[in-house]
Structure formats: C-alpha cells, structure tokens
Amino acid sequence: MSRVCQVTGKSVMVGNNVSHSKRRTKRKFYPNLSTKKFFLPEEDRWITLKISAAGIRLINKKGLKTVLKEAKEKGFIKNY
C-alpha cells in the first residue's frame, strides 16, 4: 500500500533540504502513519486501517462509524 492515510487522505509532500549555504536539494515529508486495528461494534468485527495520528484523534473526537462514512464519501477508502 502507498503512504496515504485512509481517513484523512494525508500523503507524502515534497520540499527542499536547505543547507547553511542555502543550497537546495529535494526531499520528502512523510505523514505520521501507523497500522491500527479498530473494533466496529455495529458489525461485531475488527478492521485494520493505515491511519495518521491526526486520523486517530479524529476517530476519538467523532467516532469510528461517522469517520469511516465521511472517508468513504470523500473517496479515501473504498470499503472497510
């Protein structure tokens, strides 16, 4: 799988390393992803998501079912 959060859609960004002499070389900024299992009590099963730290906070705030529904509408996740 690619390095994309399945809840927020965060992905790799591109930027520059800037040295002391201001010489610029390309680099990548990776999202803070982790693989985490969540329990869906409505369906009585576990699901595994590749999710960013911001996505985990979003699930704690809104709840798993609503976050999965919004992610499916935005196209970040196909099925869970």
Enter the pTM of the model: 0.85
User: What domains sit in the chain, N to C, each tagged with a CATH number?
Assistant: 13-74 (2.30.170.40)
Report the alpha-carbon distance of residue 56 to residue 13 in Å, rounded. 20
Report the alpha-carbon distance of residue 18 to residue 27 in Å, rounded. 10
Instruction: Write out the chain in H/E/C secondary structure.
Output: CCCCCCCCCCCCEEEEEECCCCCEEEEEECCCEEEEEEEECCCCEEEEEEEEHHHHHHHHHHCHHHHHHHHHHHCCCCCC
- Tens digit of each residue's pLDDT, the chain (80 residues): 589 999 999 999 999 999 999 999 999 999 999 999 999 999 999 999 999 999 999 999 999 999 999 999 999 999 88
In the prediction, which pLDDT does 80 show? 81
